Amino acid sequence: MAMSHPSRKRVFRSKWASTRGQGNAAFLIVMVCIVALVILQIRYCAPTPPPAVPKPAIPDAAKALLEKLGKFMPAKLPNGVELNVPELGIERKLIAFIEDKGRPVDKTTWFSFDRLEFETGSANLKPTSAEQLKNIAEIMKAFPKVKMKVGGYTDNVGNAEANLKLSRTRAENTMKELVKLGVDARRLEAEGYGEKFPVADNATEEGRAKNRRIDLRVTAK
């Protein structure tokens, strides 16, 4: 009966174990490479996130207006209409005057528009004026007994007669816009005063800018 040789078995087992170990190592290397490739594929195929959009800067003019007039806050009218107006804007001043029964109408209490703008040297209103004109129209609709007078003013630069005409046309155009917004024309009147009744010193640019204005006076409430 033939018998296997013990030394041959040991050699065979040793070679098999060595081959198996090399195979496992190669398998692990291949798997690591595959995983690395998958990770790279995911990383490069993933959508690139959009760049962060910087918050828009507030223009200097808007900052100055905010500092001058305060924060914009809701103001509810008697008819339920809600306006978004600044703390120190003409809208709140008008509403307070109209609602105060202890303050009668007179010929000296005027309220200046603070967001009404005209083209330079012209009676044409800028589009930026629309928001405040709409607010004034809504106030007049909410207080149907109220009547108002629109007054136009200029600085003292240039010809006095031309300034008077410009102030009158600006006041009339302001009144016309309020009528377009639904205010009865019989509740409004307009007059230009030119360079009369300045509220600031015409010797400075800042003072002249303040004198170029449109005011409102409540004539009935």
Give the mean model confidence (pLDDT) for residues 109-138: 97
Q: Greatest CA separation found in the chain?
A: 142
Assigned domain for 61 exists: no
Give the mean model confidence (pLDDT) for residues 165-192: 99
Q: Which residues contact 119 (CB under 8 A, 6 or more apart)?
A: 125, 126
- pLDDT at 55 (0 to 100): 52
Give the mean model confidence (pLDDT) for residues 60-74: 79
- pLDDT at 209 (0 to 100): 94
Assigned domain for 109 exists: yes
* pLDDT score of 205 more than 80: yes
pLDDT tens column, 5-26: 544 444 445 444 455 555 555 6
Host H or E run for residue 98: helix 90-99
Assigned domain for 127 exists: yes
- pLDDT at 59 (0 to 100): 58
CATH number, domain containing residue 168: 3.30.1330.60
With beta carbons less than 8 A apart as the criterion, state whether 75 and 85 touch.
yes
Assigned domain for 190 exists: yes
% of the chain surpassing 70 pLDDT: 71
Is the dihedral angle over the CA atoms 134, 199, 157, 153 positive or is it negative?
positive
Give the mean model confidence (pLDDT) for residues 44-68: 61
Domain ranges, residue 89: 67-220
* pLDDT score of 58 more than 80: no
- Provide the number of structural domains found in the chain: 1
- Mean pLDDT, all residues of the chain: 85
Assigned domain for 105 exists: yes
- pLDDT at 132 (0 to 100): 98
